[in-house]
Structure 1
Amino acid sequence: MSIRPWVVVEAPDSRGLRRVTRGSETVGSAWSSGDLRRILRHLDFPDDIDLDDPAFISWRGGDSDTWPDRPWRRRATLALMTAGLLASLVLSALVGWPDAAGALTFAQRMTGVLFVLSGLVQGLAAAAALDYWGSRRFRGSGAVVLLGVLIALATDSLLLFMWLEEMEPTPYLLMFLPLWCWSVWALVVLVRDDCWQGVPRPKRFAAGVVVTALLTGVSLAYSTMYQPAAAPMHLSLKAKFGTARSDRGAPFVHVPLSLHMKNTGGIPVYITNDIYTVRGKGATYSEIHGNQDMLREWRRSAGRGNALGDVERYADRLTRTVISSSHVYGPGKWLEVGQEYTVERVFQIPRDAPFGTVAVTMQVSYMRKDRGKLDVDQFKNPHYTWRTNEEGYYCPWQSCGQQLVYGGRVRHNNNLINVTRKPRFVWATWSPGRQPYASVSSLAHWNKTVSEQEVKRELDRYGAASIRAEAEVPVAELLSSAGL
């Protein structure tokens, strides 16, 4: 009859932890002889038991003096691994939550949800790290930590790659650049430790990680590239003169004007600037013979300020006089899909007006609402360049004229762009009778200069465009409809 010891202390694992069993049951794990004595005390062994007595304890892979654990190194690794995973959780939440909670499109919201879920996995991995560098009671704790580190490496690599495209200063760089270095270190540590050994089917685990990464990549590509371009953007404008009426008390004719706009595209749009201008067109009429004479008259007219390119055989010295000009809808407002807006205006012209025709020009600048979120509360309030108390906006009229300035922060609906770029702003300037201007750039002050290349790139990025409509009517027709 053989005598078996009550307790078996197994050989140290890669970290120096030794598993303690009694019979077929694992009763604990020990880093040191002190840990072993605590386990034995729970098994009702005396405190002064001889650890080298083979009647009670059997040692495998070393004796009672074999304790290769390096507690400070292990605890430092645990602290760095846990801190990195928790920081990655915070970064994933900062990137994903704005899209998950407020993105306009379903695809962009799903991208935000993926980042939030990735953060939750990293939080679970931080908890698993405590077990993996501890007693390892959960067999898959190492695999969970590896999954969290791989997610962090993929996220930080994506952010770093996007930042390298333009390398603009952003406070998030101080977060994802150190985390990228940490994730590379953490991956090396886990691979060297063969952390996936506790997984029952490591091949399936690896396949699941690859599939998850592919789905995430496809979702990001769809939300950032295909989906924003798939929805068409189109705005229709219409301007129409009404029936004129004479003024009995004054030598004027009142002319109704109807201005109409409608979002006929597939996405909502912000109005960043708009204007309508009514001009009276005058000319000196003469008989011109031959194309060369016509071109000579056109050059003469263009030299006097007619730079619009009109060429008329019998009209010379074309002039345009601004009669009325104002906003149509107003900067900072938006049109939902299918929404339309109509405004009725009335302007006056003298009965003996020296105009041959009256023309209206209507122009609207707009941007896609699914690309960015404009701070409309800030943008819709105009600033006056001629007011000296408008700090940051005052400009002498000799240099800037007299303009209204609209400005506000715009955030891209894909928050990956927001965290890897400097803030972007929409600026619009307006003055009656002039060409309205709207731009998107990184400038925080409107009176600074920026390259045309940057403005064009940002206008394309946020899907900005403009549309124009014109209508013209003879003054003789207006006077006839007024009974004159």
Structure 2
Amino acid sequence: MITEAPDGDGPCAIRFRRAVTALMIAGLLGSMVLLIVIGSADAFAALTFAGRVTGFLFVASGLIQGAAAAAAFDYWGKRRWKHSGAVTLTGALIALFTSGLLVFLWFEEREYTPYALTYFPLFCWSLWALWLLGREKAWRGIPHPKGFAAGVTATALLASTNLAYSAVYQPYSLPVQFAIDITFGNPVMGPGREIINLPVTIRTENTGKVASYILNSSYQVMGRSAAFEGNSSGLTGWKTDVKRKFDAERYVGPAREEIINTGPVIRAGTWLETGDVQVEQRVAQIPADAGYDLVRATTVIALLRKDRGKIGPEFEVPRHSWDPDQARFFECPPECEDQVLHSGRVVHNNNIVNVTREPRHVYSRWTTGKGSTRVRLTISPADSKGKASADDESYDQYGVFWVGSGVATVPFAALTNPAPE
């Protein structure tokens, strides 16, 4: 490490100045490239105003670093410009606070990312540069140097704090509002009155002001069978009913449900903008002698706020666990259920987060069985084999949420013997 200059203008002193100049310019140019690379992704592609402002601030800081590199060449050269030392000092302060911000955010997760190989050395370099510039009293030549140093330091601290807060901790300013309804239409008897064709309408509307990706969706039509008990002994089975998410009923014995129809509602990977309405029609075909007492339907949709992240186009392609050529996408014990997987890279809308974390992937699993249909989500790094890891991770930072409909219910008798209009 270069610490003290040789005296005089001899060969050693000249080599020292050249080495210091080269190190100072290299650090400032490295900081310039890093800030422009990080900022340009948000400045021209962020989906929020705050994200674009943050991006342009990073790009502007990078341009200042370029000017500081030119000033450093003059300061350790012929010093034709009296403020070159102050500009170089400003560049070193910018490098300290921006690289310090990135180092601070990296320590939250402590994951490997190639960008860490740039801002960790830059952080160490900035400490050395500030020490050297302080020893050289680089602020000489400007009026009120203490006020200048205090102003630059305070501004950098406030800007770094604000960037960290807006990048990681700022709560959502706009709520997500979706309206989902599932309704039954008029039943139609099939030929021979053996099959009941029951229309099901699922309507989804983005009633808020935030566009959202569809991560997965599912609807299910269930048939409930229960014996009528004329001589009631009270709500003796209410604990079992509540545990199975049934209503407690006095004159109905133990009930069971089975799936009649199920499937996704909206294609995964698409999105709904503000005001968009998606209407899907399904038809549940039920034997007229099925023996149900009630038919019920419900739906659920998992979404990701579009202002918090972007999903790669590969997410739209479904992967099936039972296909041998797609087994590489799954990390699943042999006894787990067959499932349909959607997976893709999710990029945070603030690039500061992306350069301080490992790449995240969103995994959305859809599976069904005799009892019910389930949708499961995971946002996490890929495992060591590049497969969908079974380890869950909090995905609040990416604005993932669930929206469900109410439960549509119709007596089975109304399907076989509709009431007269």
TM over 0.5: yes
Q: Match for residue 403 of structure 2? A: 467
The one-letter amino acid paired with 2:319 is H
CA apart distance, 1:15: 7.6
- Which runs of 5 or more residues in structure 2 are unaligned? none
- 1:313 aligned to which of 237, 243, 250: 250
Partners of 1:333 and 1:380 within 8 A in 2: yes
Pick closer, same or farther for the CA change 1:349–1:320 going to 2, 3 Å: same
CA apart distance, 1:285: 1.5
Choose 249-258 or 235-244, whichever is displaced more: 249-258
Q: Match for residue 379 of structure 2? A: 440
- 2:46 aligned to which of 95, 103, 110: 103
Partners of 2:93 and 2:153 within 8 A in 1: no
Partners of 2:212 and 2:271 within 8 A in 1: yes
- 1:405 aligned to which of 338, 341, 344: 341
Partners of 1:367 and 1:462 within 8 A in 2: yes
Larger relative CO (CA 8 A, sep 6+): 1 or 2? 2
- 2:232 aligned to which of 260, 265, 289: 289
Partners of 2:168 and 2:353 within 8 A in 1: no
Structure-2 separation of matches of 1:232 and 1:466: 13
Partners of 1:114 and 1:216 within 8 A in 2: no
CA apart distance, 1:121: 0.6
Partners of 1:92 and 1:118 within 8 A in 2: yes
CA apart distance, 1:257: 1.0
- 2:294 aligned to which of 357, 360, 364: 357
Name the SS of the counterpart of 1:318 in structure 2: strand
CA apart distance, 1:323: 1.1
Structure-2 separation of matches of 1:79 and 1:86: 10
CA apart distance, 1:402: 2.1
Structure-2 separation of matches of 1:289 and 1:280: 23
Give the paired residue count: 412
Partners of 2:197 and 2:285 within 8 A in 1: yes
Choose 241-250 or 77-86, whichever is displaced more: 241-250
Instruction: Give the TM-score normalised by the residue count of structure 1.
Output: 0.79
Q: Match for residue 4 of structure 1? A: none
Name the SS of the counterpart of 2:96 in structure 1: helix
Name the SS of the counterpart of 2:302 in structure 1: strand
- Which runs of 5 or more residues in structure 1 are unaligned? 1-13, 18-30, 33-66
Residue 95 of structure 2 corresponds to residue 156 of structure 1: no
Q: Who wins on radius of gyration, i.e. which is larger?
A: 1
Partners of 2:42 and 2:55 within 8 A in 1: yes
The one-letter amino acid paired with 2:323 is R
Identity, in percent, stands at: 41
Partners of 2:226 and 2:293 within 8 A in 1: yes
Residue 199 of structure 2 corresponds to residue 263 of structure 1: no
Structure-2 separation of matches of 1:440 and 1:370: 17
Instruction: Give the TM-score normalised by the residue count of structure 2.
Output: 0.90
In the TM superposition, what are the counterparts of 1:109-124 in structure 2 within 5 Å? 109-124=52-67
- 2:306 aligned to which of 354, 369, 393: 369
- 1:426 aligned to which of 339, 362, 368: 362
Calculate the aligned-residue CA RMSD, in Å. 2.7
Pick closer, same or farther for the CA change 1:228–1:378 going to 2, 3 Å: farther
Residue 273 of structure 2 corresponds to residue 336 of structure 1: yes
Name the SS of the counterpart of 2:352 in structure 1: helix
Residue 420 of structure 2 corresponds to residue 479 of structure 1: no
Partners of 1:386 and 1:397 within 8 A in 2: no
- 1:417 aligned to which of 347, 353, 364: 353
Name the SS of the counterpart of 2:343 in structure 1: strand
Structure-2 separation of matches of 1:414 and 1:238: 34
